[in-house]
Structure formats: structure tokens, C-alpha cells
Amino acid sequence: MTLAAPRHFLDLKDIDAGTLRHILETAATCKGRRRDHARPLTGKSVALIFEKPSTRTRVSFEVAIRELGGDPVILLGHDMQLGRGETVADTARVLSRYVDGIMMRTDRSAKLHELAQYATVPVINGLTEASHPCQIMADILTFEELRGPIEDQVIAWCGDGNNVARSWIEASARFGFVLRLATPPELAPSAELLAWARSQGARVEVGSDPEAAVADARCVITDTWVSMADTEGENRHNLLAPFRVTERLMAQAAPDAIFMHCLPAHRGEEVTAGVIDGPQSVVFEEAENRLHAQKGILAWALGASD
């Protein structure tokens, strides 16, 4: 008998729009009935591999698995044989015999994809240097709770064309919103990714003028200037200083625009305290929705949600 291929959640571009919408609907249901929703992971275990430090990803996944009835198994990179030279392929094969799913947070997307290649259970991308799809699912859940359907809305990104920005580009092709990115040319997203998105019908605009990007946008997003795997911090600060999200920049957006940031944030760098701590900020709603969005992802990936 041929076993069905596992349902990996690696990148938004790999999953069709209908499935992503179904995951968000499951997430919303879980949030609305947090204390009495179904527990579809009862009797199942999920390994959570952390090769990078984590607050939100670790706590939200661990709590999500427990509230869905499952058991999380925390694996830190320095505690695993993977950190001592064991191959990713061997790790995947072994873990697949112990657990029902694997989440990995790593700074090498190639490692995540190799894990998925050899695993016989679902693999979920908790973050790589190339993408952060779980975050974007939480962000879209947040936007739609507060401002209604995201389709045809204008979303603006200011700052580094990093992993989170890349997942927003993929999301624009799946959810039908207009995405404007303002980045330094040196840190712009790849031409290959933009070409893929546009071939899928995405409306993505890339430039270097933050005010043009945020004009009348319903949501303004940024992220840290220096991520955990980045180097040349001083040079990046110089490049990104003109893209700081300030009260003046937010004033160029729609009157009811919201501000998003995946956290952790550095007030006074990528965003002013007046914005992130102000009335337009929804950063803690986003953080909460990581829990609910990941419930939707886990339920779908582990086969408990059709």
C-alpha cells in the first residue's frame, strides 16, 4: 500500500489559496472557542526543533499543541545529535518513527527542505532565513478580524526585504491584496520571487519611497533591521534609517490604518515608540494570533482538518 504524502507547511507559495483560507477559518474557530474547541491532536506528539532562539514561536506552538490535545516534544539544536554532525536525513527518518509531526525553526531553509524530503510525517516551517509563513497567517487573521477581508486591500511594507517580507509577497499571490514594498535597493526582494508572484496574478509594487508605499494603505508593516543571522549591522542601519516607521509616515496611510510588527521590536530603530505603542498598533494582537493560526496549521497538516 502506498502511503499518502505528508502535508508539509513549508511556504505559502506551495499551498493553494483555498487551503490557506480553510486553515484561517479553522484558526478563527479555535480562537472563538478556545476553551471548548475540538482536540484533534489527542494521542499525537509533535517535535519542535529550535536551532534559533524563540519566544513567540516556542510558546505559541507548545500551547497550541497542548490545547489541541497533543504532546509537544521540545528539541534544542545544541541538545540534538543534529548539532553534532548527524545528517538531517537521518534525523528526519528517526523522528518520523517517534512523532506525528515536526516543526523546525532554523537559519537554513535548505535544512528545513531536506528534513521535509526525508520525513514521513508533516513538517512545518517555524522560521527560516528565507521565509516565515506562520507569521503571515497570524497577520492576515489579525487584519481580517479588525478590518474585514484582505482581498483588494493595500498593504505596505517598509524596511528590509527579509524573510517576513518574502512571505508577504507569497501571500499577495494567494490572498489577492495589493502589496507595496519600500526597501533600500540593496535589500530588495529577489527578482525571481517577484516574477513568480506576478506570474500568479499578484499585484506587488517595489520601490524605495516609503511615503509612496504607505499612501492610503490599510496596514503598514515593518520588521527589525538586523535579524539573528544578519551581519554588517552598522551598514544596514545606515541603509534602513530612511525607512523608519514614524508618526509622520503613518499619517500618510489610510485614516484607519493599522501597524504591524512580528516582534521583537527595537523602538527608535525600525519604528518609533509613538507608533508601536500608539492606538494604531496591533502588534500584541498579532502575537496572540500566532497561537490560533498555528492551531489551524497543525490541524490541517496532521490530517485532522480536511
Please list the active-site residues: 105, 132, 135, 223, 262, 290
- The span from the CA of 117 to the CA of 88, in Å, is 10
In the numeric block, which cell numbers belong to residue 79? 541538545
Cα–Cα dist 136/157, whole Å: 13
- Starting from the edge strand earliest in sequence, which strands make up the sheet with 154-158, in order? 203-207, 178-182, 154-158, 219-222, 258-261
b/e code 180-194 from CB counts within 10 Å (16+ = b): bbbbbeebbbeeebb
Is residue 91 within 8 A of residue 120, CB to CB? The reply is: no
Residue 28 to residue 104: CA distance in whole angstroms = 24
Please tell me the distance from the alpha carbon of residue 111 to that of residue 140, in angstroms, as a whole number: 27
- Name beta bridge partners: 10: none
Q: Look up residue 265 and give its three cell numbers.
A: 521590536
Per-position b or e across 230-267, b if 16+ CB within 10 A of its CB: eeeeeebeebbeebbbeeebbebbbeebbbbbbbebee
Q: How far is CA 190 from CA 150, 155, 183, in A?
A: 24, 19, 12
Nearest to 140 by CA among 289, 10, 273, 5: 289
